[in-house]
Amino acid sequence: MSDRYSRQILFAPIGIDGQRRIEKKHVLIIGLGALGSSISEMLTRAGVGKLTLIDRDYVEESNLQRQQLYTEMDAKEKMPKVVAAKHRLSEINHDVYINAIVGEADILILEQLAPNVDLIIDGTDNFEIRFILNDIAHKYNVPWIFGSCVGSFGSTYTIIPGKTPCLHCLLQKIPMRGQTCDTVGIIAPTVQMVTSYQVAEALKILSESEKALRNTYITFDLWENQYLSIKTSDAIRNMDCPTCGKERTYPFLAFEEQTKFAVLCGRNTVQIRPSTISHLSLGELASQWKQAGYEVKQNPYLISIQKEEIRLVLFKDGRALIHGTNDPAKARRIYYSLMG
């Protein structure tokens, strides 16, 4: 083993055996924004064997203040976050295998991935996906680590199927904030605080040091100097919970629960997902739209077109982001008018 991980190996709770275990593990990170980009960098530097990254978005200038993997050039080229992340992470540690997926973390792809991963980490910004992750993790008995941050406020919780209350149980007892980074902002230290807790827990799981895991839900406000750690006992766990109870139905894995039109929280943007996955010819569409007089920008992964105050970003699988409206009906009309 090279000197690369010597300081991590010197940390007695990990040691040489723990490092070898870490190097054999596969981690799935959902969302490569502020949380996910920080988590993926720390795990890459720690020498995890394989990372699978999923994100539906691309880099924008407003991301650069806190999403540490990305550059001004990534934003200028509207590079998908997982593509930019894979490039940077490969430069950091070429021994880590990076599987980058540009797209939605939907039920179909998660069902394929979950049986083959050792840990799932939440880097998302909405509870629709988190409830799907919660069901997936319990269906396939995979640990997962929740994380959330906005403003100077952050929270995190480690969920071990069969041993801890699940997210569904937890939300019945602990209220969550409805604010978003796009409505009240965020400072970078909040991100680093949450991801430090998440990655510390991840290293315990990956090195098979489960006895050191927290059994608390942590929440803090860095600006107001507040910190709270809530012990999550069996009293919180609901035996009638459809996700982790005695009779499990995994309600959030029902296909009809997936929304085709989703308003992205706080962003004045609607995401449209096609009913079937199709692989579009971006070059042909770009040519058509240029001829029609639209302002068109393109890279190998997406096309961006501007129409007055509305901007549409179309990905190769047919998924689209309609910026400039939070009205699904209006977004639908724009989408179909442009797609013919």
Give the residue numbers marked as catalytic.
Answer: 181
Q: How many helices (H) and strands (E) does the chain have?
A: 12, 14
* DSSP of 137-148: HHHTT--EEEEE
Around Cβ 250, how many Cβ atoms within 10 Å? 17
Q: How far apart are CA 296 and CA 303, in angstroms?
A: 7
DSSP letter at 210 equals: G
Q: How far apart are CA 188 and CA 100, in angstroms?
A: 24
CA distances to 13, 102, 136, 340 from 109, rounded to whole Å, are 35, 11, 11, 28
Q: How many residues does the chain have?
A: 340
Q: Do residues 18 and 202 make contact, with C-beta atoms less than 8 angstroms apart?
A: no
Cα-trace Rg, the chain: 20
DSSP lists the bridge partners of residue 310 as 307
